[in-house]
Amino acid sequence: MRIRYIVVFTGAGVSRESGLPTFRDVDGLWIKYPIEEVATIDALVRNTEKVLEFYNIRRRKILEAKPNAAHYAIASLEKKYNTVVITQNIDNLHERAGSTKVIHLHGLITQNKCMCPTPHYYDIDITDDRTIDLRLGDKCEGGSQLRHNVVLFGEAVENMEIAYSEVQKADIFIVVGTSLKVYPAANLVYYTRPDAYCFCIDPDESLNLPANFCHIKSRAVKGVPWIVNFLLENPQEISSIMKEGKIVLE
Ligand SMILES: [Zn+2]
């Protein structure tokens, strides 16, 4: 098969290796701020100030974090292939590593949005420290309170239709660092073409993968550069890797 179009779908396992935990990890931040008090649409309405404070902290942690080898390897695919990244992560580490086409399903924390019926979106100026934190009373041009562009529990996941159609175009589909337990994003693995080569890079033995996937059992920082190196240097080897069904890199 001639490889033209690559879609990479990433989750928390990729960001975690840059030191960014999620609420599924045991982390001090989530103990101080329980999910139901900061990560739901209900909390945003009832306790806006606390939700803004929580995402200000996460935004600053994300700005301090750095892309890792997995982010850079994914970005390097653009040297040779039409590549699209679909991510469940709210950080901008793919963009900072050089990926130019990134679809965020759960929002992008370096943007603000408002509560207008059709929201206004604003990129924050990360070079100006005074603009990084959001406070009660910060408003959009339509006069509504600004919030971080992060999808909360109770809100619709963004860009799913675009994501489905991207996966259907993929000659190679690579899933990295996602538990495949968060829906609707987890449905993406069922939208691949029958002739696509599909890989999942994750250390978790118990992942529930469709039969057409090759499971590369590895952390993202090791497994992603490994498969990307084949795609850039020896793409003819990809079909024989696929036939293995499962590969353990440790
Ligand atoms: Zn607005």
- C-alpha 123 – ligand 1 centre gap (Å): 14
pLDDT at residue 36 in the model: 84
Q: How far is the CA of 130 from the centre of ligand 1 (A)?
A: 21
Q: Is 104 a catalytic residue?
A: no
Average pLDDT of span 53-75: 96
CA of 131 to the centre of ligand 1 (A): 17
Indicate left, alpha or beta for 30 from its phi (over 0: left) and psi (-120 to 50: alpha): alpha
Domain CATH for 136:
3.30.1600.10
Does residue 79 share a domain with residue 194? yes
112 and 144, same domain (yes or no): yes
Count up the domains in the chain and report the number: 2
Q: Could you tell me if 177 and 144 lie in one domain?
A: no
pLDDT tens digits along 4-58 = 999 999 999 999 999 997 766 656 666 778 888 889 999 999 999 999 999 999 9
Rounded mean pLDDT, 148-157: 94
Residues 54 and 84 in one domain: no
Regarding whether 138 and 78 lie in a shared domain, the answer is no
- Same domain for 14 and 80, yes or no, is yes
**CATH at residue 225:** 3.40.50.1220
Residues 119 and 139 in one domain: yes
* Cα 136 from Cα 118, distance rounded (Å): 20
- pLDDT value for 183: 83
- Tell me, yes or no, whether 15 and 39 share the same domain: no
Number of Cβ within 10 Å of residue 181's Cβ equals 11
Indicate the residue among 92, 120, 150 that finishes a domain.
150
What's the mean per-residue pLDDT of the chain?
Answer: 93
- Report CA-CA distances (Å) from 60 to 17, 19, 54, 63, 127: 17, 13, 10, 5, 12
Digit-coded pLDDT (tens) for 183-209: 888 899 999 999 999 999 999 988 889
Residues 241 and 127 in one domain: no
| Same domain for 198 and 128 | no
Residues 208 and 88 in one domain: yes
Domain closes at, from 115, 150, 185? 150
Omega prior to 21 cis, within 30 of 0: no
| Interval between CA 111 and ligand 1 midpoint (Å) | 13
Stretch 202-226: mean pLDDT, rounded?
A: 93
Q: What is the pLDDT of residues 112-144, one digit of tens each?
A: 999 999 999 999 998 899 889 999 999 999 999
Do both 174 and 226 map to the same domain?
A: yes
Please state the separation of Cα 117 from the chain's center in Å.
25
User: Judging by DSSP bridges, how do beta strands 107-114 and 121-123 pair with one another?
Assistant: antiparallel
Residues 6 or more apart whose Cβ sits within 8 Å of residue 65: 15, 18, 19, 20, 91, 93
Which of 122, 150, 178 is a domain's end point? 150
Domain that holds residue 55: 28-64+107-150
| Candidate list 106, 120, 148, 215, residue with the active-site label | 106
Which of 97-106, 140-149, 204-213, 230-239 comes out lowest in average pLDDT?
Answer: 204-213
Cα-flanking dihedrals φ and ψ of residue 69, to 5°?
-60, -30
